[in-house]
Amino acid sequence: MRITKYTHACVRLEHDGRVLVIDPGIWSEPSALAGADAVLVTHEHADHIDVLRLAGLGVAVYAPTEANISGLEVTGVSAGEEFTAAGFRVSAVGGRHAFIYGGQPDCANLGYLVDDAIYHPGDSLHVPEQPVETLLVPAQGSWLKMIEAIDFIKAIGPQRTFPIHDAQLNERGLDSVNGWLDEETDNGYRYLAPGESA
């Protein structure tokens, strides 16, 4: 399976001519959606979903049933549900966005385990019960401390790890985050620049 990272939390998965895109938000490149067969959205925040772009796309969009997404038809998904999107097997896990301050925001957030191999947690650090081969780890956020990201990787124990949720980092911050995650984990950590594939 080919994984291509786009700006921030957007990831494109391709296999046998099928294309599944996860979290194409307002900061991600429109090219991430070229030829997409389906889209998974972890939660309702604009850095993870560009409603206007998706409304004109005409493909199936899956999002948490409890998400407040207006102006776009979505297929609601709940934690524990398994379904097929663009021919990929998807398990929805988790349920809530990580807290930032004072219990906010409290919105639905699902992580998606795709083909029992790739895990995109959205804005949460939910550890799924299933083993994870490839982890997409949030690298920065107002809801995240570096120690939490490191512990998240260690708790899951993937074979390889790629960072997501990094658009608010400048070059120095990105170097620091990459250094910490590479040095403190032994899980095949590798930074993918926007547009780079693995």
Domains of the chain: 2-184 (3.60.15.10)
Express each pLDDT in 83-133 by its tens digit.
999 999 999 999 999 999 988 888 999 999 999 999 999 999 999 999 999
Name the pLDDT band for 66 (thresholds 50, 70, 90). Answer: very high
CA distances for 116 relative to 37, 67, 133, 187, angstroms:
19, 24, 8, 17
Mean pLDDT (whole number) for 65-89? 97
CA distances for 171 relative to 7, 11, 132, 185, angstroms:
14, 21, 29, 21
**Predicted local confidence at residue 105, as pLDDT:** 84
